[in-house]
Amino acid sequence: MPVGAKADSTTSSPAMGGGKEQRVTKQRRAVSAALDELDDFVSTQELYRILQNQGVSVSLATAYRILQSLADEGLVDVLRNGDGEAVYRRCAVTGHHHHLLCRNCGKAVEVEAPAVETWAARTAAEHGFTEVAHTVEIFGLCPDCTARKAAGSL
């Protein structure tokens, strides 16, 4: 390896879906590893703070770019939370699915919804739409937060 070359910045792997080569950097691996450890959706700024606390040197702008790249490749789910902020998560379900999201604690549950799929396809066809996509996110309080609210501690 030439003097001064960085092995992390020269490694590449094919991205899913387009055959585009994506550089695999130390920062990309750190973001990916942090997502693997999280159960719920996380904003870029929350993930940035987690990485900083772990001593990982990554800028906020780089974290944004990496998360968007992972989302574009289908490696993470991205959605808008109740405040309209983009949040990301590595999902266990690889196919099309939806989420139940707790407005209080952020807990997410992955759900398949065949009735929604049927409705979306029928509605699109009735209006002559093709190549359709949809996103359904259901916001509410999870059972734990509902119990805390009933007990007056929320």
- Is the pLDDT at 132 greater than 70? The verdict is yes
Distance CA 5, CA 42 (A): 33
Distance CA 138, CA 135 (A): 10
- Higher pLDDT among residues 39 and 143, named by residue: 143
- Residue 4's SS3 state is coil
pLDDT band at 80 (very low <50, low <70, confident <90, very high): confident
Distance CA 85, CA 81 (A): 5
Distance CA 79, CA 151 (A): 31
- Is the pLDDT at 1 greater than 60? The verdict is no
The single-letter DSSP state of residue 15 is P
Q: At what angle do helices 44-53 and 60-72 cross, to 10 degrees?
A: 120
Query: What percent of the chain has pLDDT above 90?
Result: 49
Distance CA 68, CA 75 (A): 10
Whether residue 104 contacts residue 153, with contact meaning beta carbons closer than 8 Å, is answered with no
Provide the mean pLDDT of the chain: 83
Distance CA 43, CA 116 (A): 27
